[in-house]
Amino acid sequence: MSEVRQSNFELLRIIAILLVLLLHADFFALNGPSVNEIESNTIDSTLRILFQTISIAAVDIFVMISGWFGIKQTFKGFINLIFQTLYYSILIYAICVACGLEPITFTGIKDIILTTSGNWFIKSYILLYILAPILNAYIEAAKKSQLRFTLICFYIFQFIYGWMFPASTDYLVGGYSPISFIGLYLLARYIRIYEPWPTHKSQKVLCVYLVVIFIFVTTACVVPSVAFGFYSVYGYNFLTYISPTTIACAVLTVILISKSSISSSLVNRLAKSSFAVYLVFVNPNILSSYGNQFSILHHHYTGVMYWVITILIVLALYVFVSVIDTARIYFYNRLCRLYLSNKTS
C-alpha cells in the first residue's frame, strides 16, 4: 500500500526547490552586493540581500523534511534516488554533446558519476540516506534528554568551529557537508517527536518570527555599510547554511507548514519532480549558463522588476521540468514492474 502524501509538506518541497533556484539567481549569479553597490544602489542591493536571506534556508528545509518523516531506507527508494541522479546526468550530457555544446571528455564522464567536486548536495544526501537506519536506531533508543544533549552539543560545536571560526575545521565547510545534514535530520526528528516550545506557537507568531529574522539579517548587511561606512559587509556571515538565523528559519518554516492541512493531487504530482528540478539546474552543464542568464537579466532590470521577472521564470522552469519529468517517472515505474517487483523493501 502506497504511503499517503501530505500535501502541505509536498508543497514545502516545491517551495524549497523554488528557493534554491532563486538562490542561484541571486548571489550565485550576481554575487553579494559590495559596500559601494549598497551605498550607490541601496534599493536593488537590499532586495538582493533580502531574497538571499529568504532563500538561504532552502537546503536546510529540504533536509529537515526528510528528518521530519524519517528516511525509511528501502532498496527501491535507494534505486529511485540513484536512477533520478543518473537519468538527468546522462540525459543532459548527451544532449549537450549532441548539440555540440560540450565535447566528450573524461571530466564530463566523471561529472555523470559524481566524481568531480561539483554536486555536493547530491553526494551528501546519498550518504545521509545510507546512514539513515543508524540515525533512526539512535533516535528510537535514546531518551529525550540524551537526544537533546546530543543536539545541543552538536550545534554548539558547529556554531563555534563551523560558523564563528570556519578556518578551524576543513570538514564543516559552511554546511556543505553531510555532517550538517545529520544534525538537521536529528533536529527535525526531535521536533517532530517531542514537540518543543516553537511547535506550540500559532502560525501567526511563527510568521512574525520569520519576518523578524529576515529584517534582522537584511538590516545587519545593509545598515552598517550605509550608516557607518563599514569596508566589508559583515552581515554576510549570517547568509550561510549553518548560521543560527538560517537554521532558525528552516525550523520555523517546517513547523509552520506542519500546522497547515491541504490536500491537492496537483501539488503532490509537482512535488514528485522537485528533486528532478534540482538535478537539472545544478547540473554542471547547466548551472553556469543558468547563472549567466540571470546576470544578463540583471543588467537590464534591477530592483523590484528583476525579482518579478525572476520569480515568473523560476515558476515556469519548475513547471517545464515537471512536464518533462513525466518520462523519467514512466521509465522508473517500468523498471520497478520489470525488475524490482520481487525485491523486498
**Residue-averaged pLDDT of the chain:** 93
For 114-141, the pLDDT digits (tens) are 998 888 999 999 999 999 999 999 999 9
Q: What is the pTM of this model?
A: 0.93
User: Do 303 and 44 touch, CB atoms closer than 8 A?
Assistant: yes
For 159-215, the pLDDT digits (tens) are 999 999 999 998 999 999 999 999 999 999 999 999 999 999 999 999 999 999 999
Dihedral angle sign, alpha carbons of residues 315, 318, 321, 325: negative
* C-alpha pair distances (Å), 41 with each of 34, 115, 250, 256, 302: 10, 41, 30, 34, 10
Domain ranges within the chain, ordered by starting residue:
7-339
What is the three-state SS of 51-104? HHHHHCCHHHHHHHHHHHHCCCCCHHHHHHHHHHHHHHHHHHHHHHHHCCCCCC
The set of cell numbers assigned to 98 is 549532441
How far apart, in whole angstroms, are the C-alpha atoms of residue 134 and residue 125?
15
Q: Is it the case that residue 95 has pLDDT exceeding 70?
A: yes
pLDDT attached to residue 339: 77
1 — pLDDT class (breaks 50, 70, 90): very low
- 3-state class (DSSP) for residue 253: helix
Q: Is it the case that residue 2 has pLDDT exceeding 70?
A: no
Phi-psi region of 6 (alpha: psi -120 to 50; beta: other; left: phi over 0): beta
pLDDT attached to residue 207: 97
Residue of 197 and 225 predicted with greater confidence: 197
For 238-276, the pLDDT digits (tens) are 999 999 999 999 999 999 999 998 999 999 999 999 999
Report the share of the chain in percent with pLDDT over 70. Answer: 96
